[in-house]
A and B are shown apart, each in its own frame.
Chain A
């Protein structure tokens, strides 16, 4: 068992265990912290696959951005120290059953399917290759989706401001 394999299993265990704790703990702040560790584990898996750029994006956007946003909204909307209400047993059992059946079905498909790898000159996911592809307008270029996503982000930003704006009490 090589060092790389051991690191892979450690990262997988970190991701899955903190994922399970994030959806089962009854303290909402702890759930956010476990989610943070799960996202860090996924960034570690990207590093393990040597996709450094995606791992960096994952850490910057998810760990640095979304988790902090979630923690701030917890502070704004929850009373400190409150436990989430306990759920009905029947709902938990049926949810676990549904999730487990879906997982088993996926595993069955995965077990029966063999993937065929394509051959060809590998294109390394270095930052310069990614940048070339992202802004190229030729075939296999991603300039159009890039522009569409930037418009979407602008629209989402304006939408957030409009939604969160405190409306003035109408006195007319």
Chain B
């Protein structure tokens, strides 16, 4: 059977919940950021698959995923700036050690 929309949706759902599992279990801020990237990527995959198989006469899904990629890049840059700042003040990027979010 030729892979189609359902196969890609199964892959993207699996990737989404792999990211959610990582977000629940990890206690390190950088690895939590990596899990969020996996979640965002699965959403992009969904948008592209819907665009290709259900609305081929439009490009809306493609534009959604391009904008999601742009926003994810901005989010990763800001998050890493915050993480490095937190490391400077606490010498650790474990979420358990960053309970008090003030100076």
Contact = CB atoms under 8 A, between A and B. Distances in A.
Interface of A: 2, 4-5, 8-9, 12, 15-16, 19-20, 22-24, 28, 31-32, 35, 38-39, 42, 45-46, 49-51, 53-54, 57-58, 61-62, 65-66, 69-70, 73-74, 76-78, 84-85, 87, 91-92, 94-96, 98-100, 102-103, 106-107, 110, 115-118, 120-123, 125, 129-130, 133-134, 140, 142, 145, 149, 152-153, 156-157, 159-160, 163-164, 166
A129 B59 contact: yes
Interface of A is mostly: helix
Given A16-B14, A58-B69, A62-B69, A77 B19 contact: no
B6 A110 contact: yes
A8 B7 contact: yes
B58 A140 contact: yes
Nearest to A111: B6
8 contacts: A57-B69, A61-B72, A77-B83, A107-B13, A110-B13, A116-B54, A153-B73, A157-B77
A63 to B, nearest CB: 11
A9 B34 CA distance: 24
